[in-house]
């Protein structure tokens, strides 16, 4: 049976996007999608049987080729569900829920706009963590001023994202049809920054729509995580920010 193999860290930010998506899409238990967790070797390499070289997530296709970027992986899965061409793709599509990229051109453009803002915020947040979190103090040069500047861009993007969520997620949180790939990507970022680094990016009183989105989405089955989800040694250092 043809299948896709997905290599990832369960708790990593970018793989987390995909896991939330698979739950929301109804594909988490698909027999055609094998999820393989990687481990870190003594030489800091990501290893797992059959894993291609490189960082995760990596999606290996039945023909042996692979896709690495998380949003590209989500787009690929949406494509084969929207227009399945092979029997195994048709099996996946038959189990999948409706399109998560919008029902028309305007809706799809809006999702791309949200993804662009979230990806920029994610990159800047990562930079801020590397320069300002104690987690990286012994690994690379730190710079609290650079960290603060990057966080300023992150918070600016939160304000730019606020209007996109006006009127959304106001009803029953079980309405799966309203969830988009942008929602999965955005929520995983907000959850990661809050639960691992102790930064609540939607705490600003002006971000009422984003706060509602976060509070509502975190109650979904796809979003729930256990207390020990993040490795203890990382969780102890990550929320300590340098002066």
Grouping H, G, I as helix, E, B as strand and the rest as coil, residue 89 is helix
The pLDDT score that the predictor gives to residue 109 is 97
Q: Is the pLDDT of residue 124 over 60?
A: yes
Over residues 225-241, mean pLDDT = 93
Over residues 137-162, mean pLDDT = 96
- For 50, left (φ over 0), alpha (ψ -120 to 50), or beta? left
For residues 20 and 221, what is the distance between their CA atoms, to the nearest angstrom?
9
Stated length of the chain: 243
Q: Is the pLDDT of residue 93 over 50?
A: yes
Could you tell me which residues come within 8 angstroms of residue 134 by beta carbon, excluding any fewer than 6 positions away?
A: 237, 238, 240, 241, 242
Q: Is the pLDDT of residue 44 over 80?
A: no
Grouping H, G, I as helix, E, B as strand and the rest as coil, residue 38 is coil
In which band, very low, low, confident or very high, does the pLDDT at 45 lie, cut at 50, 70 and 90?
confident
What residue ranges define each of the domains in the chain, with the CATH number in brackets? Answer: 4-95 (3.40.30.10), 105-237 (1.20.1050)
DSSP, res 177: G
Please tell me the pTM assigned to this model: 0.94
The pLDDT score that the predictor gives to residue 172 is 60
Mean pLDDT of the chain: 93
In which band, very low, low, confident or very high, does the pLDDT at 42 lie, cut at 50, 70 and 90?
confident
- Percentage, residues of the chain above pLDDT 90: 83
Q: Is the pLDDT of residue 173 over 60?
A: no
Over residues 27-40, mean pLDDT = 93
The pLDDT score that the predictor gives to residue 2 is 78
For residues 39 and 41, what is the distance between their CA atoms, to the nearest angstrom?
6
H or E element that contains 5: strand 4-8
pLDDT in tens, 46-83: 889 999 988 899 999 999 999 999 999 999 999 999 99
The pLDDT score that the predictor gives to residue 200 is 98
- For 203, left (φ over 0), alpha (ψ -120 to 50), or beta? alpha
- Percentage, residues of the chain above pLDDT 70: 96
The pLDDT score that the predictor gives to residue 176 is 47
Q: Is the pLDDT of residue 177 over 60?
A: no
Q: Is the pLDDT of residue 174 over 90?
A: no
């Amino acid at each position: 049976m043809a299948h896709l193999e997905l290599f990832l860290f369960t708790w990593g930010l970018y793989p987390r996007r995909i896991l939330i998506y698979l739950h929301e899409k109804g594909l988490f238990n698909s027999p055609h999608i094998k999820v393989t967790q990687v481990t870190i070797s003594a030489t800091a390499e990501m290893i797992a049987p059959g894993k291609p070289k490189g960082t995760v997530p990596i999606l290996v296709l039945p023909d042996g080729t692979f896709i690495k970027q998380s949003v590209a992986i989500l787009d690929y899965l949406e494509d084969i569900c929207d227009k399945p061409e092979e029997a195994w793709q048709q099996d996946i599509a038959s189990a999948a829920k409706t399109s998560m990229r919008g029902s028309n051109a305007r809706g799809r453009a809006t999702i791309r706009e949200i993804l662009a803002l979230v990806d920029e915020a994610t990159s800047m947040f990562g930079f801020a963590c590397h320069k300002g979190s104690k987690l990286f103090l012994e690994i690379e040069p730190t710079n609290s001023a650079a960290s603060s500047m990057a966080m300023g861009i992150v918070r600016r993007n939160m304000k730019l994202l606020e209007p996109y969520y006006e009127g959304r997620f106001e009803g029953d949180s079980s309405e799966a049809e309203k969830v988009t790939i942008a929602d999965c990507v955005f929520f995983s970022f907000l959850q990661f920054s809050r639960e691992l680094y102790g930064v609540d990016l939607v705490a600003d009183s002006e971000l009422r729509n984003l706060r509602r989105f976060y509070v509502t989405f975190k109650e979904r089955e796809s979003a729930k995580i256990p207390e020990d989800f993040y490795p203890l040694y990382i969780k102890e250092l990550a929320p300590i920010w340098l002066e």
